[in-house]
Amino acid sequence: MSNAPILLTPGPLTTSLRTRQAMLVDWGSWDRDFNQLTASLCEQLLAIIDGAASHHCVPLQGSGTFAVEAAIGTLVPRDGKVLVLINGAYGQRLAKICKVLGRAYSTFETAEDQPTTAADVDRLLAADPAVTHVALIHCETSTGILNPLPEIAQVIKRHGKRLIIDAMSSFGALPIDARQVPFEALIAASGKCLEGVPGMGFVFAEKTALAAAEGNAHSLAMDLQDQHAYMAKTGQWRFTPPTHVVAALHEALLQYNEEGGLPARHQRYADNCKTLLDGMAKLGLRSFLPAEIQAPIIVTFHAPKDPRYQFKDFYERVKAKGFILYPGKLTQVETFRVGCIGVVGAAGMQAAVNAVADVLREMEVLDI
Amino acid sequence: MSNAPILLTPGPLTTSLRTRQAMLVDWGSWDRDFNQLTASLCEQLLAIIDGAASHHCVPLQGSGTFAVEAAIGTLVPRDGKVLVLINGAYGQRLAKICKVLGRAYSTFETAEDQPTTAADVDRLLAADPAVTHVALIHCETSTGILNPLPEIAQVIKRHGKRLIIDAMSSFGALPIDARQVPFEALIAASGKCLEGVPGMGFVFAEKTALAAAEGNAHSLAMDLQDQHAYMAKTGQWRFTPPTHVVAALHEALLQYNEEGGLPARHQRYADNCKTLLDGMAKLGLRSFLPAEIQAPIIVTFHAPKDPRYQFKDFYERVKAKGFILYPGKLTQVETFRVGCIGVVGAAGMQAAVNAVADVLREMEVLDI
């Protein structure tokens, strides 16, 4: 097990043995001990955004996308309209969710290396008064680009509109303070920067908005208002919780706080990202994004031009040396991605760079 | 950890250490090794119902209810109509799902100790030609009652209608053969009689029906047609899978087959149930259901009449002796429930009965 490769992916990622060992216990989902675990989890999560006064934390079974769909389905009224800001695959997915759910929406798309700006949002909201909600990806995992959340949030508030943030890949590593950044919902998941295992998401939902959302949802299982009301009343999840995943996330959060919370997590990932970027640059591998819009979460690299480079072969060889990389997700340019998150430090990232260097040599890839 | 109480609940239940240890590895969700794990899982699940020729196995993130909702949302066309057969809380939930999803439906409800009969279904289908689908709970966990699935399935087929079976608490322990029992969908989950951990469900969907279901779904995350199509093309889950839960279920299935598959699992649970019923009868505790409609999954007992009996106190005392029981779910009668499933044998069940006997003595509960 200690020989398992390090996952340099946007999640699932490498967790600590202590976190995985928390899954060696079976919990009764109706039992008081488990209810306390859930309550402690939500409390710790709310503390990360200083949101206890303004927001409820509503955990949800399933992957992060389930929680995103649940947030849109629960909080956007059936006669609402969503402005979806897009610069990658996860923004596209937000639009697809609106479409499938039958919520009116419009999209604003920038290039995959172009953050949406507050000025864009200001202009778009002025032009379309029908919009009730704006949906934004904080860090777009398809490239690693960071969108200027605080500035966009202020513009949305000024227009009297509501913001739904998909913070899947940034939450826990990049600061977001609910007392300063106004939002109706922020969504993240267990298996990302908190370094838990995948299997649940959670939504921070504004208390007043959640209370007013009864009957909005398109789904029973994804009704966050109902999920929260039941949990508030009973301390239990409405439907069977992924008990082991919950226990692992709880244990991961204890370690998160022991490490020093968000500033420490952010610093470690920033160091990882710098080690990666510097090391890859020395090999001639160019990062797709300029440094100023690069979040320290996942980095997209241009694939080498050399015809001897094939991603599949490259991937398998790097894996054999102990590191799992991630394919690119851009349609126009051939790329691959390397995550900076999970239980790994700068020494691990340097070892990954060395493995990449060795593999490129083995493959005789010269034209980078 | 070895001191954790035995879960005598309808799931999450007690799993083997080997199953939990399978969660000590982190898997890359994009990696070939994980794709093979998923493929092997689906293959083993299909083998349990002899369904490889007729059905696809579509795994889904979330609890069993997520998979039930996904099956109804994906397979019942928007202009379809569902006849929901109800004799307990999970049948009620099926109706609620239809309501929230906006699918037309009618209900047929029998008392909680009355199975639905094939004659009932025959009469109901003759009376309402608008019905396209019938939804049935195989073993209703709110009491433990078994509905006569094979007979009902034949009647539905004769009427040219389609059957959706919620087999959450029976799958893997009670025989269902897809070559003999015609159904469009059968739904179960990881954390029940297969003795995996909770966090994913799966739907066996008729191949032709699934192929025809494109565009039906009310949800992106719960669209089983899309989930299957993507998995068939790439070998991967559409959205982040609960990798550790998948690995645990895979390991649990290996043990299921080593134990002797369904006949052995059924026999062990039947022995557990008999030990429980006999032992509790000796204490004067009466089972709610007559033996002939009692599935060997979970047993509902009448609560003692003695005013010194309080479920909460009883529960905590039995827990302190190493066994977690389950509350009753009936509205008219005070009951409690004891599960027969999970990694436990007749000796464990006898120990649970002894614990109950000791606790009733301690509580001075005399009027059973």
Residues A227 and A269 in one domain: no
Q: How remote is the C-alpha of B292 from its chain's centroid?
A: 19
Q: Whole domain around residue B124: which residue ranges?
A: 17-257
Residues B271 and B189 in one domain: no
pLDDT at B329: 87
Query: From the candidates B3, B35, B220, which should be mutated to test the interface with A, based on the most A CB atoms within 10 A?
Result: B220
Query: From the candidates A9, A20, A23, A26, which should be mutated to test the interface with B, based on the most B CB atoms within 10 A?
Result: A26
* B chain contacts of residue A61, beta-carbon cutoff 8 Å: 61-63, 66, 199
Check if the beta carbon of residue A362 is closer than 8 Å to that of residue A317: yes
Residues B77 and B135 in one domain: yes
Q: Is there a domain that residue A367 lies in? A: no
* Both tokens assigned to A60: 């949800």
Question: Which of B69, B189, B248 lies closest to A219 in CB terms?
Answer: B69
- The span from the CA of B71 to the CA of B103, in Å, is 12
Cβ distance A24 to B20 less than 8 Å, yes or no, reads yes
Closest by CA to B289, choosing from B281, B304, B299, B279, is B299
Per-residue model confidence as pLDDT tens digits over B4-52? 899 999 989 999 999 999 999 999 999 999 999 999 999 999 999 999 9
- The span from the CA of A98 to the CA of A76, in Å, is 10
* B chain contacts of residue A13, beta-carbon cutoff 8 Å: 26
> Where do the DSSP E strands lie in B207-309?
298-302
Q: Is there a domain that residue A291 lies in? A: yes
Which amino acid would we find at residue A44? Answer: Q
* Both tokens assigned to A305: 């031009």
Neighbour order of strands in the sheet with A55-61: A55-61, A200-206, A185-189, A162-166, A133-137, A81-86, A104-109
Question: Which of B14, B61, B327 lies closest to A26 in CB terms?
Answer: B14
Instruction: Give the residue from B257, B292, B314 where a domain finishes.
Output: B257
B299: CATH? 3.90.1150.10
- The span from the CA of B8 to the CA of B318, in Å, is 11
Averaged pLDDT of chain B: 97
φ, ψ of residue A185 to 5 degrees: the values are: -150, 145
Q: Is the pLDDT of residue B352 over 50?
A: yes
To the nearest 10 degrees (0 to 180), the angle between helices A311-320 and A346-362 is: 130
* Both tokens assigned to B260: 């002797």
Cβ distance A12 to B1 less than 8 Å, yes or no, reads no
pLDDT at B347: 98
Q: Is there a domain that residue B191 lies in? A: yes
What does each C-alpha distance from B283 to A245, B60, B313, B353 come to in angstroms? 38, 43, 18, 9
A247: CATH? 3.40.640.10
To the nearest 10 degrees (0 to 180), the angle between helices B118-127 and B149-158 is: 20
CA distance A13 to chain B (A): 7
Instruction: Give the residue from A257, A272, A306 where a domain finishes.
Output: A257
Q: Are strands B81-86 and B104-109 parallel, antiparallel or unpaired?
A: parallel
Q: Is there a domain that residue A368 lies in? A: no
Q: Is there a domain that residue B367 lies in? A: no
Cβ distance A66 to B61 less than 8 Å, yes or no, reads yes
Please identify every stretch of chain A with a pLDDT value under 70, giving residue numbers as ranges: 1-2
- The span from the CA of A333 to the CA of B242, in Å, is 30
- The span from the CA of A238 to the CA of A226, in Å, is 8
CA distance B66 to chain A (A): 6
Q: Is there a domain that residue B368 lies in? A: no
* Both tokens assigned to A337: 């991605």
- The span from the CA of A51 to the CA of A123, in Å, is 29
Q: How many pairs of residues across A and B have Cβ atoms under 8 Å apart?
A: 195
* B chain contacts of residue A66, beta-carbon cutoff 8 Å: 61-62, 66, 221, 239
Give the residue from chain A lying closest to B201, CA to CA.
A62
CA distance A179 to chain B (A): 31
- The span from the CA of A150 to the CA of A152, in Å, is 6
- The span from the CA of B193 to the CA of B216, in Å, is 31
Residues A65 and A197 in one domain: yes
Residues A132 and A26 in one domain: yes
CA-angle at B270, arms to B267 and B271, nearest 5°: 85
Question: Which of B12, B30, B243 lies closest to A27 in CB terms?
Answer: B12
Cβ distance B220 to A29 less than 8 Å, yes or no, reads no
Residues B240 and B135 in one domain: yes
Q: Is there a domain that residue A82 lies in? A: yes
Q: Are strands B55-61 and B200-206 parallel, antiparallel or unpaired?
A: antiparallel
* Both tokens assigned to B81: 């109509």
* A chain contacts of residue B328, beta-carbon cutoff 8 Å: none
Q: Is the pLDDT of residue B2 over 70?
A: no
Instruction: Give the residue from A239, A257, A275 where a domain finishes.
Output: A257
Q: Is the pLDDT of residue B147 over 70?
A: yes
Per-residue model confidence as pLDDT tens digits over B297-322? 999 999 999 999 999 999 999 999 99
Overall domain count for chain A: 2
Element (H, E) at A204: strand A200-206
* Cβ neighbours for B228, distance < 8 A, ≥ 6 positions apart: B56, B58, B205, B210
Cβ distance B221 to A63 less than 8 Å, yes or no, reads yes
Element (H, E) at B357: helix B346-362
- The span from the CA of A210 to the CA of A199, in Å, is 23
pLDDT at A331: 78
Cβ distance A66 to B65 less than 8 Å, yes or no, reads no
The dihedral formed by the CA atoms of B257, B259, B260 and B262, expressed in degrees to the nearest 10: -80
* Position B332 confidence tier, pLDDT thresholds 50, 70, 90: confident
CA distance A182 to chain B (A): 27
Residues B265 and B253 in one domain: no
pLDDT at B1: 43
* B chain contacts of residue A96, beta-carbon cutoff 8 Å: 220
Which residue has tokens 């966090």? B199
φ, ψ of residue A30 to 5 degrees: the values are: -95, -10
* B chain contacts of residue A245, beta-carbon cutoff 8 Å: 199, 242, 244-245
Cβ distance A65 to B220 less than 8 Å, yes or no, reads yes
Check if the beta carbon of residue B168 is closer than 8 Å to that of residue B12: no
pLDDT at A1: 43
- The span from the CA of B110 to the CA of A362, in Å, is 70
| pTM of the full structure | 0.98
CA distance B54 to chain A (A): 28
Which residue has tokens 């559409």? B238
Residues A253 and A265 in one domain: no
Burial of B54 (0-12, 13-18, 19+ CB in 10 A): middle
Closest by CA to A16, choosing from A261, A267, A259, is A259
Check if the beta carbon of residue B191 is closer than 8 Å to that of residue B13: yes
pLDDT at A301: 97
Question: Which of A100, A197, A239 lies closest to B220 in CB terms?
Answer: A100
Residues A78 and A195 in one domain: yes
- The span from the CA of A314 to the CA of A300, in Å, is 15
3 state DSSP class of B224: helix
Residues B251 and B278 in one domain: no
- The span from the CA of A276 to the CA of A295, in Å, is 13
Q: How many CB atoms lie within 10 A of CB B305?
A: 11
Residues A313 and A250 in one domain: no
Closest by CA to B154, choosing from B186, B183, B115, is B183
H-type helices in B56-200, by residue range? 64-75, 89-101, 118-127, 149-158
Closest by CA to B156, choosing from B188, B189, B131, is B131
Residues B344 and B229 in one domain: no
Per-residue model confidence as pLDDT tens digits over A302-323? 999 999 999 999 999 999 999 9
φ, ψ of residue A345 to 5 degrees: the values are: -120, -170
Cβ distance B218 to A218 less than 8 Å, yes or no, reads yes
* B chain contacts of residue A63, beta-carbon cutoff 8 Å: 61, 221, 239-242
H-type helices in chain A, by residue range? 17-21, 32-48, 64-75, 89-101, 118-127, 149-158, 207-211, 224-234, 243-259, 261-282, 311-320, 346-362
Q: Is there a domain that residue A181 lies in? A: yes
Per-residue model confidence as pLDDT tens digits over B77-102? 999 999 999 999 999 999 999 999 99
Element (H, E) at A108: strand A104-109
